[in-house]
Amino acid sequence: MLILGMLRQVVSGTMQSRASSCWKAALPLRFLGHSPQQIPADASFYSTSASEAEPPRVLITGGLGQLGVGLAGLLRKRFGRDSVILSDIRKPPAHVFCSGPFIYADILDYKKLHEIVVNHRITWLFHYSALLSAVGEANVPLAKAVNITGLHNILEVAAKYNVRLFVPSTIGAFGPTSPRNHTPDFSIQRPRTIYGVSKVHAELMGEYYYHRYGLDFRCLRYPGIISADSQPGGGTTDYAVQIFHAAVKNNRFECNLKASTRLPMMYIDDCLRATLEVMEAPSECLSIRTYNISAVSFTPEELAQVLCKYVPEFQITYRVDPLRQAIADSWPMSLDDSTARKDWGWKHDFDLPGLVRTMLSFQGFSTRVAHAN
Ligand SMILES: NC(=O)c1ccc[n+]([C@@H]2O[C@H](COP(=O)([O-])OP(=O)(O)OC[C@H]3O[C@@H](n4cnc5c(N)ncnc54)[C@H](O)[C@@H]3O)[C@@H](O)[C@H]2O)c1
């Protein structure tokens, strides 16, 4: 009890200095132990609704991609292993299968989605299934099916069973006519990829269901996400992950974007924590339902310069892929995420040097990183 009391004091002091008054009731994730049993009984972590005193029962769709396994790990630490079901249409590797509940779920199978939500009493749904920007352009009919028809299925099921729904959007939801620097939450959105068009559609449909049917829809526009232990799924920012693998393997990397291409990026831990924080935020704190979130913005050249500090022999060359370059040139260079910071206390932890150090230590570069320090 003493420890809990001290924790509450630390937390309340920190939250008063950091976030809006609305958010004071909830603990930020970084202050919490990982076991649900450690959470004080009177805290309103999971929801503003009294009916949700129990931990949520979570379903993650498209969970075997770059982000889903990490999200499942974070949520299982928070809510318990069996409260979080990972799903996909691919066969999971053994370590993923053994780490918690996994089921096959095709988001195009509408009836099966109902069955899953009902049979597992799902209360929170993280909808990660998608075809990303470069892959989507290579197969537009499939991108339309997965990103648009699949989303419709998810919205219907979530609305019918009163499920809190998270759908990630992207910087790709902006286009060449959007402001490219500090792009605000609300600005012109005329993307020219099927991925971007489908994500604008998802933002608007989710908000429509929120206003029309009361669906508890929450959405973050992710920047390019950088992760060490999962591979990117065919997006325009993939180079920023591949560069680390190449640096470790053979000290060189051929980049498919121009040296000067500036894009917003984020380390995966920040992205997943933001996702959980916005899902836990009391409804009344959310002044909007689709938020920009931002951490760092850099070019391939700037990333290579920081990498060279730790891997001095590293060399980058450029062979530009016109498709990816055209997409990147139509996206924001940086995002204005001040509304997320104000409404629910969003704050990134990883700057560029921190991100590079963390990525290299994951890749087995700990000795050289320590040496460079
Ligand atoms: N990774 C990033 O940098 C990034 C940036 C912005 C937004 N996002 C968004 O975050 C989400 C997750 O991204 P990710 O990088 O993990 O994607 P990913 O491409 O790595 O994984 C997507 C998963 O969806 C699954 N899938 C495809 N068709 C499906 C279907 N019919 N039914 C069920 N699952 C299906 C795939 O098998 C795959 O495992 C996506 O919605 C993406 O748009 C990601």
Task: Please compute, for residue 29, the number of CA atoms within 13 A of its CA located in the half-sphere on the CB side.
Answer: 25
Q: What is the pLDDT of residues 41-52, one digit of tens each?
A: 333 333 334 345
Q: What is the largest CA-CA distance in the chain?
A: 61
Identify the pLDDT of residue 171.
97
- Dig out the tokens for 224 from the structure: 């390019």
- Asked if 329 contacts 176 with a C-beta cutoff of 8 angstroms, the reply is yes
Among residues of the chain, what percentage have pLDDT more than 70?
84
Distance 129 CA to ligand 1 centre (A): 4
Write the residue with the smallest CA distance to atom 17 of ligand 1.
65
CA 152 to centroid of ligand 1, rounded, Å: 16
Residue-wise pLDDT for 35-81, tens only, equals 333 333 333 333 334 345 789 999 999 999 999 999 999 999 999 99
Do the strands 263-267 and 296-298 form a parallel or antiparallel pair, or are they unpaired?
Answer: antiparallel
CA of 194 to the centre of ligand 1 (A): 14
Task: Say if residue 48 is exposed, middle or buried (CB neighbours under 10 Å; 0-12, 13-18, 19+).
Answer: middle
Q: What is the pTM of this model?
A: 0.88
What is the mean pLDDT of the segment spanning 209-234?
A: 95
Q: Which residues contact 267 (CB under 8 A, 6 or more apart)?
A: 225, 226, 227, 295, 348, 349, 350, 354, 355, 358, 359
Q: How much is the pLDDT for 35?
A: 33
Rounded average pLDDT over 215-221: 98
CA distances from 129 to 63, 107, 126, 161, 285 (A): 7, 8, 9, 20, 27
Over the stretch 73-104, which tens digit does the pLDDT of each residue have?
999 999 999 999 999 999 999 999 999 999 99
Whether the predicted pLDDT of 129 surpasses 80: yes
- 366 pLDDT higher than 60: no
For residue 171, which atom of ligand 1 is closest to its CA?
Answer: 6
Q: For this structure, is 195 an active site residue?
A: yes
Pocket (CB within 6 angstroms of ligand 1): 61-62, 64-68, 88-90, 106-108, 128-130, 132, 146, 150, 168, 170, 222, 224-225, 232-233, 235, 237
Residue 41's contacts (CB-CB under 8 Å, 6 or more residues apart) are none
- pLDDT attached to residue 52: 52
Q: Within 10 Å of residue 38's Cβ, how many Cβ atoms?
A: 11
Q: How far is CA 257 from the centre of its chain?
A: 23
Ligand 1 centroid from CA 85, angstroms: 16
| pLDDT score of 269 more than 90 | yes
pLDDT > 90 fraction of the chain, expressed in percent and rounded: 80
Residue nearest ligand 1's atom 15 by CA? 66
DSSP state of 67: T
- Mutating to test ligand 1, I would choose from 129, 142, 221 the residue with most ligand atoms within 8 A of its C-beta, which is 129
Mean of pLDDT values over 162-184: 98
CA of 234 from ligand 1 middle (Å) equals 9
Catalytic residue among 195, 222, 239, 291: 195
